[in-house]
Amino acid sequence: MKKSLLAALAAATALGCLPVAAESLITSDRVGPSDAPKKMVFRMTGDGPSSTDPTWAAGYTKLYTDFINNHPGWQLELQMMTGDISQEQARMLEQAKAGHAPDCAAIDSFVLPLFKQAGVLKSLSPYFKKEEIDQLFPFVRDGITAKDGQIYAWWWSTDLRVLYRNKEIVPTAPETWADAKEAALASVKAGMEGMLFNGSRYEGTAFDWLGNFWGQGGKLVDDAGKPIFADAANRDKFIKAVNYYRDLVESGAAPKRVATIGNYDDFNAAAAAGTTAMFVGGNWQYRQLQNSMEPEEFAKWTFSMLPGITADQRSTGTGGWTVAAFSAEPEKVEMCAALAREVYMGPANALQEQLPTRADLYDKYDVFKSEANQTFAKALKVGQARPGVLVYPEISNQIQIMMGKVLTGAATTDAAVDEAFKATLDAYGRL
């Protein structure tokens, strides 16, 4: 509580330090003078001045103030997305097809192929240098580039999933699924809930879990983008990964309520309240835990790579956010690219410790030289991005449905997996 109060005071102090004229530049739905002759609508996530984290809110307020001062005559109308990212992105795609999209928007990397395929995005190639694009990690560069060789978004942050643990309760990092179950059961005996993870109808449920499948060498789709995750070569790996989570719940190593969890904030709250000793979360939560806990409590927490079926078979999902333009007005497309460049491509990475997508930025910002971020960077070597294929959103949707049935015991694993596989093949056939 004390830490949160100090953070809030720090944010207020930061705002108070701004010049009077600059202070009025930021409201809940606008950046820049209300009478500015030029306006760009930006639909955004919480990665901005309205962040729920006071420290980040203050940092973004400074970044956005500098940005709008560098672009006199402009104002940004801010449209905030809700936490239901999948629904938000689907709605925005339909709006774009109908010609009603915002000028510029945050697009989750895993649905970017749908926007590219729909032809609703404007090229950002004129606004980024070749050497900047060449510095992007290959999976990022491929993700934003279309068949015509143009880039249609700027992928500014990436992330990965890890296993967080309270060192006082779980002193040794679990390396295998069996290790994780044993440690979780031991934490239950110590009065904790066991291991927490997302298990409800939520993209995070599918993505956080996929590392367990990928670590065994499993493939979601073939080279043509057709689902193959439960064919003859992959079915056994997929079922083993599903049964890993099922066994955690049935054994009591994870609480039954994981089937209803679809929000990483729940894990932070449980860690702060001392009700859990382990959870599967994202790298960005390390800083969130640091911001929300007293130093002596935060010192008890650490993280490690996700366990694998064996210690040598481990992987993790890598995702992240992009910024893309929909506007038919070239001046607004250029402004959107400037926003991606000046606010998000580096400064926002450093502010939130969101892992950069450019290799050179790890050397530019001291924050990425920390032991924690160096460890994250090493884990990225076994990271895997979601396949940039049109059918992926339906694969994720079916995994979410399947996981609900399995974790609640409503269906056998084999039946749930086969049903999910058939549904994705049907969806692929309709593309």
Of 132, 157, 167, whose CA–CA distance to 56 is shortest? 157
Beta strands in 171-330 (DSSP E): 195-196, 278-282, 301-304, 316-318, 321-325
Pairwise CA distance, residues 90 & 95, whole Å: 9
Least confident of 157-161, 248-252, 306-310: 157-161
Tokens linked to 196? 């927490």
Of 401, 409, 408, 225, whose CA–CA distance to 418 is shortest? 401
Give pLDDT, residue 12: 40
Instruction: Provide the 10 A C-beta neighbour count for residue 5.
Output: 10
Percent of the chain with pLDDT over 70: 95
Of 212, 204, 209, whose CA–CA distance to 177 is shortest? 212
Decide if 282 contacts 376 (C-beta within 8 A): no
| Stretch 359-373: mean pLDDT | 87
362 — pLDDT class (breaks 50, 70, 90): confident
Type of residue at 381: K
3 — pLDDT class (breaks 50, 70, 90): very low
Least confident of 116-130, 305-319, 376-390: 376-390
Average pLDDT, the chain: 91
Model confidence pLDDT, tens digit, residues 163-214: 999 999 999 999 999 999 999 999 999 999 999 999 999 989 999 999 999 9
C-alpha 353, offset from chain centre: 13
Give pLDDT, residue 214: 96
Type of residue at 96: A
Q: CA angle 272-278-283, nearest 5°?
A: 80
387 — pLDDT class (breaks 50, 70, 90): confident
pLDDT at 352 over 50: yes
Give pLDDT, residue 8: 39
| Stretch 113-132: mean pLDDT | 95
The residue with tokens 């930021």 is: 26
| Stretch 415-421: mean pLDDT | 98
Pairwise CA distance, residues 114 & 312, whole Å: 34
Query: CA 368, 369, 370, 374 torsion: positive or negative?
Result: positive
